[in-house]
Amino acid sequence: MFDQRKLAEIKKQTQKWEGTTVPNWLRRNPERRKNFETVSGIPVKRLYTPEDIKGMGYSKDLGFPGEPPFTRGVHATMYRGRFWTMRMFAGFGTAEQTNQRFKYLLKEGETGLSVAFDYPTIMGYDSDHAMSLGEVGQCGVAVSHLNDMETLFDGIPLDEVSTSMTINGPAPMLLGMYICVGDKQGVPREKLAGTTQNDNLKEFFAQKLCIFPPKPSLKLSTDVIEYCARHVPNWNPVSISGYHIREAGSNAVQELAFTLADGIAYVESTLKRGLKVDEFAGRLSFFFACHNNFFEEIAKFRAARRIWARIMRDRFKAKNPRSMWMRMHVQTSGCTLTAQQPANNAIRTAFQALAAVLGGTQSLHTNSFDEALCLPTEEAVTVALRTQQLIAHESGVTDTIDPLGGSYYVEALTNEIEECAMSYIDKIDSMGGVTAGIEKGFFQREIADSAYKHQKEVERHERIVVGLNDYTVEKDWIPMDLLRIPPHVEREQLARLERVRQGRNRQKVKQSLDKLFGEAGKNKNLMPSIIEALKAYATLGEITEVLRSVYGEYRELIVV
Amino acid sequence: MSTKEKKIRVLIAKPGLDSHDRGAKIVARALRDAGMEVIYTGLRQTPEQIVETALQEDVDVVGLSILSGAHSTLFPRIMQLLKKKGMTDVMVFAGGIIPEEDVPALKKAGIKEVFGPGTPTSTLVEYVKNNVLK
Amino acid sequence: MQVFLTEVTEVQRLVQGVFRGEKRAIAKTISKIENNEPEAQKIISLIYPKTGKAHIIGITGPPGAGKSTLVEKLAKELRNRKKTVGIIAVDPTSPFTGGAFLGDRVRMQDLSTDDGVYIRSMATRNHPGGLARATKDAAHVLDAAGKDVVIVETVGAGQSEVEVVKVAQTVVVILAPGLGDDIQAIKAGQMEIGDIFVVNKGDRENANKAVSDIEAALELNTEERDWRPLVLKTSALTGEGIGEFVESIERHRAYLKKGALDVQRRAKAEIELIEALKQKITQSIIQDLREKGEWVRATDRILAREIDPYTAAENLLKGKTKTS
């Protein structure tokens, strides 16, 4: 990209600056620390010049938005055409309560729905299971059967919204329910738009919501990918996630590398079903966190797109450019928010959101400032949504594409992150892939070590968390109104569950569950039989129990 | 006459369906690094399982970690079971996402202290060392 | 006098609780022994006469062989056969921090709600050889509490693990194919102490080869032994071989009962006596020497290179026997 002679000149001048101006300055003003590093341990120099990116080729490494390697953006016009989807993760209490929150958020300007399910639902338990006691509706909405799902989307036409569902083990069931709701509303399946997270691999070492062991979990994820490729073509069957890996304690490079490794595993698994890569790859989507180190995060998103494009083209021989594009959803980081001086969280979220936008995300959730205290109140979630709207309409950053492209630092960092991530991917490949790595406890060890390192840095004041280990206050301002889920919510949910159980055709339920059992034993794609069971109002718990009986339950390999 | 060798035995438990174990693992590691013998239960423990483990292992301390909001139901249950089994000499502390307004009721149920997000591990280590009941 | 009576009553209460199989009594008793509390010896003296009924099985083998998972399967099978089980799982104490992470229990979750199984995790507290000092006595407690089988799972660090022979009647060595050097793992040491060799993760492709490798090594390695060690394959994952595993344990027990058990018991009793003597000597003689200042004097002389440790010890003992 640069003229050799001019580069040599710049190099000479840089050396001169480092040899004279800088030391003179340092004599009177030492720098704040001896070494500067990103969170991932990448050294950060005092200054970046063309010298730092001299090997780059514009077309090869940067290219143009909407064309491989997509470094600068997946769409040709990016936010000039359309802003990212403002998609706020929401869910608590009963389906009715969450339906209200959905409608509120849509009214306030969010442009996509995102469903948070409660723990029992996530683990495939009905609200009245012994393990569900005290958990119903606490961290998400309780959905035990199709009736709950119908209530959840009451008054929301599924051909007018796109919905992301954070669900993994029971993803086939919740997608099945969504499809049934669409059927009832008369929406053709090709028009259903949205995403199921359905990324079971990361559960084993990050989010830990595993129901079944690794092999059957991967099978179920692939069932969903295959089914959508054939029957629900506008649906993103999987959201290959790094968010949870990051929140569990990894650094940015690990987050990226482990996510890409998972992506590789899903592509391989789906190819084994006999599909061609271009038949499904275009609908694979990704989900990352956005943490505090502004430029590291931006570089991470850009490196992510470039690496994935190269992997799809070179490793998997994709031909369609859409098979190579990495579309992502980003959520600002939860674990960087503090219970102390919660107002600061709004500002952390703002910076993180800005980084996600400058990084070119397609969809964004911003956390509420009361994140470390409880579920978000209406006021808090509004501020979080407004954060996105402020960036979109008032900051001007959306008027051009990839404005940081060409920054010596950002490009150097993007290159560095790519290199570090690829080194991890090679290592994982040599281990035998993600499933082998999970069995060996590789990811768990890396994450636990990074998490412990971070904790120690904070405790030794090597890493400052404002309001927590510095700039603390005696009397903190804590919001008085927290969103609490009262006990009657659980009682109501159980009553509804009982009504549904009583009101359905038991014969049909039994037949459909038996059929599912049979199909599971024969290793078939389970989506059709799951949908059939759901339409008979078999509950989530009943369906999951059938699968548990076939696949067994996962036992965590604990690495501390 | 003989040298007594006592180590503090701690059970770090994750009651209920909450799957966030980053904090629990860090606490387990920190207590071990401080010379204690630590048993971590893993995820998705029922109150019965936690108490049974505490009983058989004759732990001095139980640390409960929860971020799901189910503490109001699960913690009193655990404390009741401990009492029933005669384990009132076990010191129980808790951490995670537990709103301030819930803390008095938990303390009344027998939880000695509740530590919020951001508590340094050194604080926890000191607390455990100074508050073991046995 | 009053205090003494209260102590005895508490100890008596605990011991009675152990005999009745009460979990809290078992737990407290093991703790007192582990912590070397003053009542520990009294407790052992009351418990010892009631020991000798349980079949004590030692489980050893390199890390990664799947010991804990296999122990869980073994315990479940024993429970199916109506046996009560005690498990002692040992993990290493960090020599730097003195702390330990006791992570075996978590791999036996299925047993946590079975009243017929008692699990206790122990840290080595820097005792060498793969077990804790108190493991032997903890096994006695579980024996006296009426457990039919007591399983002792060692740390699993490899070849240095020979303490298990002192505690167990049947020693099982668990290996897994592809853990690196299979033959290394079955070198001298473990070759000689194993009564039963189990190749776990038997669903893996090189499992059969591992079995034949071990059988070959046994041919070469074992001197004349009455008992020919058994070699079998299991898969904790699929449940394959667990039944045979239990049967092989019972076969060894039957063999022991025919007479070898008495020989073994005598040898073990002697070992226990030696251990107890060592402990007593350490406690009483050394304590006494410390109090009289002779300890420090001797150590100073050793440091100054005036005398070697063996001569110093001899002098101290001569001095002891003179004054006693």
- Find out whether A169 and A211 touch, Cβ atoms under 8 Å: yes
Three-class SS state of A127: coil
Query: C-alpha dihedral over C185, C189, C193, C197, to 10 degrees?
Result: 10
Does residue C104 sit in the same domain as residue C177?
A: yes
Q: Where are the beta strands (DSSP E) in A215-374?
A: 235-236, 238-241, 284-290, 327-332, 363-365
Q: Do A338 and B120 touch (CB under 8 A)?
A: no
Where do the structural domains in chain A lie, given as residue ranges?
A: 68-459
Other Cβ atoms within 10 Å of A28 Cβ, number: 6
Does residue C37 sit in the same domain as residue C64?
A: no
Q: Residue C20: which residues within 8 A CB-CB, separation 6 or more?
A: none
CA A138 to chain centre: 21
A449-499 confidence digits (pLDDT tens): 999 999 999 999 999 999 999 999 998 887 778 899 999 999 999 999 999
Closest CA to C61 of C170, C200, C169: C200
| Residue A196, pLDDT above cutoff 90 | yes
What tokens does A66 get? Answer: 């909407």
Average pLDDT over residues C255-274: 84
**Chain A residues closer than 8 Å to C101 by CB:** 560
Q: Is the CB of B103 inside 8 Å of chain C's CB atoms? A: no
B91-100 confidence digits (pLDDT tens): 999 999 999 9
Does residue C240 sit in the same domain as residue C183?
A: yes
The reply to whether C116 falls in a domain is yes
**Chain B residues closer than 8 Å to A477 by CB:** none
> How high is the pLDDT of residue A402?
98
Average pLDDT over residues C293-305: 90
Average pLDDT over residues A55-62: 94
Chain A residue closest to B97 (CA)?
A: A373
Q: Do C106 and A560 touch (CB under 8 A)?
A: no
Q: Which of C50, C69, C85 is the last residue of a domain?
A: C50
Q: Residue A281: which residues within 8 A CB-CB, separation 6 or more?
A: A267, A312, A316, A318, A320, A322, A323, A324
The reply to whether C267 falls in a domain is no
Q: Is the CB of C123 inside 8 Å of chain B's CB atoms? A: yes
Does residue C167 sit in the same domain as residue C37?
A: no
Does residue C208 sit in the same domain as residue C312?
A: no
**Chain A residues closer than 8 Å to B80 by CB:** none
Closest CA to A220 of A244, A242, A241, A196: A196
| Residue B63, pLDDT above cutoff 50 | yes
A547-558 confidence digits (pLDDT tens): 999 999 998 888
Structural domain span for residue C190? 51-258
Does residue C164 sit in the same domain as residue C123?
A: yes
Indicate the class that CATH gives domain A68-459: alpha beta
Average pLDDT over residues C32-42: 93
Q: Is the CB of C107 inside 8 Å of chain A's CB atoms? A: yes
CA angle B101–B105–B111, rounded 5-degree value: 110
pLDDT band at C321 (very low <50, low <70, confident <90, very high): low
pLDDT band at B119 (very low <50, low <70, confident <90, very high): very high
pLDDT band at A188 (very low <50, low <70, confident <90, very high): very high
Give all domains of chain B, ordered by start, each with its CATH number: 9-131 (3.40.50.280)
- Residue the block writes with tokens 């840095």: A457
Cα→Cα distances A494→A235, A245, B62, B77, C61, Å = 32, 34, 32, 20, 50
Closest CA to A424 of A318, A307, A315: A307
pLDDT band at C188 (very low <50, low <70, confident <90, very high): low
What tokens does A420 get? Answer: 């570090």
Does residue C247 sit in the same domain as residue C298?
A: no
- Find out whether A242 and A287 touch, Cβ atoms under 8 Å: yes
> What is the C-alpha to C-alpha distance for residues C97 and B35, in angstroms, rounded to an integer?
5
> What is the C-alpha to C-alpha distance for residues A403 and C183, in angstroms, rounded to an integer?
61
Which one of A205, A244, A374, A455 would you mutate to disrupt binding with B, by most B Cβ within 10 Å of its Cβ? A455
**Chain A residues closer than 8 Å to C109 by CB:** 555
DSSP string computed for C216-272: HHHHHH--S-SSPPEEEE--TTT-TTHHHHHHHHHHHHHHIIIIIHHHHHHHHHHHH
Domain count, chain C: 3
C220-237 confidence digits (pLDDT tens): 765 667 788 999 999 977
- Find out whether B4 and C35 touch, Cβ atoms under 8 Å: yes
A243-265 confidence digits (pLDDT tens): 999 999 999 999 999 999 999 99
**Chain B residues closer than 8 Å to C109 by CB:** 42, 49
**What DSSP state is assigned to residue A74?**
S
Query: C-alpha dihedral over A81, A356, A302, A265, to 10 degrees?
Result: -100
Does residue C76 sit in the same domain as residue C35?
A: no
> What is the C-alpha to C-alpha distance for residues A213 and A204, in angstroms, rounded to an integer?
9
- Find out whether A364 and A330 touch, Cβ atoms under 8 Å: yes
Three-class SS state of A45: coil
Does residue C110 sit in the same domain as residue C243?
A: yes
CA distance B59 to chain C (A): 9
- Find out whether C233 and C241 touch, Cβ atoms under 8 Å: yes
Share of chain C above pLDDT 90, in %: 50
Cα→Cα distances A388→A86, A107, A225, A347, A395, Å = 7, 15, 31, 12, 10
B74-96 confidence digits (pLDDT tens): 999 999 999 999 999 999 999 99
Q: Residue A330: which residues within 8 A CB-CB, separation 6 or more?
A: A287, A288, A289, A290, A301, A356, A359, A361, A363, A364, A365
- Residue the block writes with tokens 């592509």: A267
A336-355 confidence digits (pLDDT tens): 999 999 999 999 999 999 99
If you average pLDDT over every residue of chain C, what do you get?
87
Residue C101 forms beta bridges with which residues?
B38
Burial class (CB in 10 A: 0-12, 13-18, 19+), C171: buried
Other Cβ atoms within 10 Å of B123 Cβ, number: 12
Cα→Cα distances C13→A96, A226, B52, C45, C52, Å = 58, 65, 21, 14, 22
- Runs of H (alpha helix) within A404-526: 408-431, 434-440, 442-459, 488-503, 506-521
Does residue C178 sit in the same domain as residue C300?
A: no
Neighbours of chain A (3+ CB pairs under 8 A): B, C
Q: Is the CB of C204 inside 8 Å of chain A's CB atoms? A: no
A506-558 confidence digits (pLDDT tens): 999 999 999 999 999 998 999 999 999 999 999 999 999 999 999 999 988 88
C154-176 confidence digits (pLDDT tens): 998 765 677 888 899 999 999 88
> How high is the pLDDT of residue B79?
98
| Residue C12, pLDDT above cutoff 90 | yes
The reply to whether C263 falls in a domain is no
pLDDT band at B1 (very low <50, low <70, confident <90, very high): very low
- Find out whether C200 and C65 touch, Cβ atoms under 8 Å: yes
Q: Which of C50, C74, C90 is the last residue of a domain?
A: C50
Closest CA to A326 of A47, A86, A70: A70
> How high is the pLDDT of residue C7?
61
ipTM score for this prediction: 0.94
Does residue C240 sit in the same domain as residue C134?
A: yes
pLDDT band at C324 (very low <50, low <70, confident <90, very high): very low
Does residue C135 sit in the same domain as residue C43?
A: no
The reply to whether C65 falls in a domain is yes
